[in-house]
Homo-oligomer: A and B are copies of this chain.
Amino acid sequence: MHKVLRELKVELGERSYPIIIGQGLLGSFDLTPWVAGQQVMIVTNDTVGPLYLEKVKGCFPGKAIEVVTLPDGEQFKDWQTLNLIFDALLEKRHTRKTTLVALGGGVVGDMAGFAAACYQRGVPFIQVPTTLLSQVDSSVGGKTGINHPLGKNMIGAFHQPQAVLIDTNSLQTLPEREVSAGLAEVIKYGLIRDESFLAWLEDSMESLLRLDAEALGEAIYRSCVCKAEVVALDEREGGLRAILNLGHTFGHAIETFAGYGNWLHGEAVGTGMMMAADLSVREGLISADDRARAVALIRRARLPEWAPSGMTSEDFMNLMSVDKKNVDGRLRLVLLKAIGDAFITENASADNIRDTLRAFLPQAG
């Protein structure tokens, strides 16, 4: 009926949880061992719900299941939409023994997770991510939250799921842009921590773009292992974990400028990683060949290589200065000292930063 391909455990002491990766899991894999009470609230959106909601209900035999369906899109990752979850929980009288289930991509996961973190000061939740990006990124690590008009993910909480269930079949219907956006984060793990994984990606990129299930399963597994290792070492982002933000400071500025929802998160991170590699060359950390290797792989994943039309260096500087990875006003960036070895610095030269920004503005192309 279904096939479990791989399983890993994110080690976080009493908050440890499993990630189960397989084919055909939705509808037949029994998730009730991770449900403490009788009440389940599935949170999904109006794109994913029609495809998988009925199947996922089959993962909770014997439980009282309610559903709340959100509008689809990053532009709805706000308080008004979050409140739809609280309204449903309170109208259906869900107690603090309820379990929330996030069925969808990163936005649904972030919002359902944040709702779980805040509802009655914290209830359990389970992640069922259905996009490549959420499978390799937002379903691991416990980050949850919503956007504010002045900045992305500015309001949120750390809240770990009880379990994460990943069905590779859900990727077969994923739009091409979203596959590319997910591959940006997959490539990131190779760049920051695992040169051999990057080499495997260089060999496997055509299979991944063809949506070959075996290749996708391996890419998801290795990405989750990498992220789980980093998160287990640094759950609250005191230091090491920040390397997971390679490309994100530039990327968040791009997303904010473009308006949430116009660029996919992974697309902005793809461009942002090219910018980080570029700045790493200017800082004398890696060679021009290393940069070319990173840029070529990101390009092969069909990711954009220029900032959005109309964006200026000043836009970047203004938007990057509110990024939450800054400390006391200094610009904090993740750079590469080699392919497969990222680090955090507050010492990048202002001139080099400005040159990198200029090199990626559309008019410079």
- Contact-residue size bin, chain A (C-beta under 8 Å from the other chain): 35 or more
| B328 close to A120 (CB less than 8 A) | no
**Contact yes or no, A90 B328, CB < 8 A:** no
A157 is contacted by which of B90, B93, B121, B148 (Cβ under 8 Å)? B121
Question: A145 contacts which of B121, B322, B328 (Cβ < 8 Å)?
Answer: B121
A90-B148, A90-B151, A150-B91 known; A122-B328 Cβ under 8 A:
no
Q: Which residues of B contact A79 (CB under 8 A)?
A: 79, 83
A328-B96 CB under 8 A given contacts A83-B79, A157-B117, A157-B121 = no
Instruction: Give CA–CA (A129, B156) in the complex, Å.
Output: 25
Indicate which residue in B38, B122, B158 contacts A121 across the interface (CB closer than 8 Å).
B158
This chain's copy number in the assembly: 2
Whether B157 and A118, one on each chain, are in contact in the complex, defined by CB atoms closer than 8 angstroms, is yes
* Contact in complex: A158, B86 (CB < 8 Å): no
A56-101, CB < 8 A from B: 79, 83, 86-87, 90-91, 93, 95-97
Q: A326 interface residue, CB < 8 Å from B?
A: yes
Q: Which residue of B lies closest to A90 (CB)?
A: B150
> B327 contacts A90, CB within 8 Å?
no
Residue of B nearest to A144 (CB): B121
CB distance from A245 to the nearest CB of B (A): 13
CA distance A116 to B295 in the complex (A): 39
Query: Residue A329 contacts which of B95, B120, B143, B158 (CB distance < 8 angstroms)?
Result: B95
Majority DSSP secondary structure for residues of A touching B: mixed
In chain A, residues 97-134, which have Cβ atoms closer than 8 Å to a Cβ of chain B? 97, 117-122
A300 at the interface (CB under 8 A from B): no
- The distance from the CB of A156 to the nearest CB of chain B, in whole angstroms, is 5
CA A322 – CA B95 in complex, angstroms?
Answer: 7
Name the B residues within 8 Å of A121 (CB-CB).
143, 145, 153, 156-158
B residues less than 8 Å from A3 (CB atoms): none
A28 at the interface (CB under 8 A from B): no
Q: How far is the CA of A148 from the CA of B87 in the complex (A)?
A: 8
Q: Is A37 an interface residue (CB 8 A)?
A: yes
Residues of B within 8 A of A155 (CB): 86, 118-119
Alpha-carbon distance between A37 and B90 when the two chains are bound, in angstroms = 39
Contact among B150, B158, B328 with A95 in the assembled complex (CB-CB below 8 Å): B328
Chain B residue nearest to A323 in the complex (CB) = B95
Tell me, yes or no, whether A324 is within 8 Å of chain B by CB: yes
Q: Which residues of chain B are near A83, meaning CB under 8 Å? A: 79
Residue of B whose beta carbon sits closest to that of A332: B95
A326 to B94, CA, bound (A): 10
**Residue from A79, A86, A95 whose CB has the most chain B CB atoms within 10 Å:** A95
Whether, in the assembled complex, A154 has its beta carbon less than 8 Å from a beta carbon of chain B, the answer is yes
Task: Say whether A312 faces chain B, with CB atoms less than 8 Å apart.
Answer: no
Task: Please list 30 pairs of residues, one from A and one from B, whose beta carbons are closer than 8 Å in the complex, sorted by A's number.
Answer: A37-B328, A38-B328, A39-B328, A79-B79, A79-B83, A86-B148, A90-B150, A90-B151, A90-B322, A91-B150, A93-B321, A93-B322, A95-B324, A95-B327, A95-B329, A96-B324, A96-B327, A97-B328, A118-B145, A118-B157, A119-B154, A119-B155, A120-B156, A120-B324, A121-B143, A121-B156, A121-B157, A121-B158, A122-B157, A157-B157
Apart from A96-B324, A119-B155, 4 more pairs, CB < 8 Å: A79-B83, A86-B148, A118-B156, A121-B157
